[in-house]
Amino acid sequence: MSGRFVRVAEKGRRTFEIVIDGRRSLAAEGDTLMVALLTAGDSLRDSEFGDGRRAGFCVMGACQDCWVWTAAGERIRACTTQAAEGMSIVTRIGEAGEGVWPRLS
């Protein structure tokens, strides 16, 4: 899968594994979740209010467009949360267990 973000000339940062919607992916030391998610794919999450995917907007924690969930159900902002080894992130409604994703219907 090609991502929206592409690492061009980085060398020397340690990489580690995170899980995105049940699939293993790599993040680099110092990455925010937004960077890790958009390097691994073309969007951040499903929209709660429609059928589209979202990709973040302000990149500073103000716009509310980058909310994702941990596999345990904790809601976190991808743009201000550091990626950490072993994280398991849910971005797709279809992948979320009951109680993880907010149900509006």
Residue 5, in any domain of the structure:
no
Question: How many other β-carbons are positioned within 10 Å of the β-carbon of residue 7?
Answer: 13
* Model pLDDT for residues 16-63, shown as the tens digit of each residue: 999 999 999 999 999 999 999 988 888 888 777 777 777 777 777 777
pLDDT band at residue 15 using 50, 70 and 90 as cut-offs: very high
Residue 98, in any domain of the structure:
no
DSSP 97: P
The CATH number of whichever domain residue 22 belongs to comes to 3.10.20.440
What is the per-residue DSSP string for 28-50?
ETT-BHHHHHHHHSS-SEE-TTS
pLDDT in the model for residue 9: 74
The pTM score is 0.78
Q: Which residues constitute the domain of residue 71?
A: 15-92
Residue 105, in any domain of the structure:
no
pLDDT band at residue 105 using 50, 70 and 90 as cut-offs: very low
What is the per-residue DSSP string for 51-96?
S-EE--SSSSSSS---EEEETTS-EEETTTSB--TT-EEE--GGGP
pLDDT in the model for residue 32: 92
Residue 1, in any domain of the structure:
no
- Give φ, ψ of 18 to 5 degrees: -130, 165
